[in-house]
Amino acid sequence: MTATDLREDRETRRSWLREHSELGVCVLLLALGALVLTDALTMDVDIAQRGPVGPRTVPVVVGAGLLVVAVLLAVDVLRGGRGEAEGGEDVDLSEPADWRTVLLLAGVFLATAVLIEPLGFPIAGALLFWGAAYALGSRNVHRDPLIAAALSLATFVVFNNLLGVPLPGGPLMGVL
């Protein structure tokens, strides 16, 4: 094979993968279904349980459903089926992905995961909301931090005080 033949073969494969990109969703659904089924079937269940419905029932049904959907979607994609864009969707698929935004958002989420214990949810949540707004393009340096702080405090109060879901308060625990 010549270099031209190899290049054409590579382009053909890329074209086929681009046309059948929904197969990636099939692989994800298949892996998720296998994970749910494995976890459900290895779950410790009390031997004294009575009745046909136990703690394994729902995870097994969901896992099996994920596997069935993955297979049906793969068959549809391989037969030429394609997902249609929504009527209101204004995404230009010829443009490359905005990796800067994706990496900024990923960094903000990772920073929140690291900082939530030492700083508490109100401060880490404010950094999360402000960082997400910045990554998505908002550059109002006076308004954004105030809105982020208000959202974070409101979320903390609703979950911690009203719903009874304990969130770490961090250094603000005595104040809140």
CA 123 to centroid of chain Cα atoms: 23
CA-based end-to-end distance of the chain: 71
Q: What value does the mean pLDDT take over residues 119-145?
A: 94
pLDDT at 88 over 70: no
Q: Give the C-alpha separation, 36 to 58, whole Å.
A: 10
pLDDT at 176 over 80: no
Backbone angles phi, psi at 96, to 5 degrees: -75, 165
Domain ranges of the chain: 3-78, 99-172
Looking at the chain, the whole-number percentage of residues with pLDDT higher than 90 is: 53
Task: Of 72, 60, 64, 62, give the one whose Cα is nearest residue 26.
Answer: 72
Q: Give the C-alpha separation, 93 to 101, whole Å.
A: 17
Q: What is the pTM assigned to this prediction?
A: 0.55
pLDDT in tens, 2-59: 767 666 667 776 776 777 788 889 999 999 999 999 999 898 877 666 666 777 888 9
pLDDT (0 to 100) of residue 86: 63
pLDDT (0 to 100) of residue 31: 96
User: Which DSSP helix (H) or strand (E) runs through 172?
Assistant: none
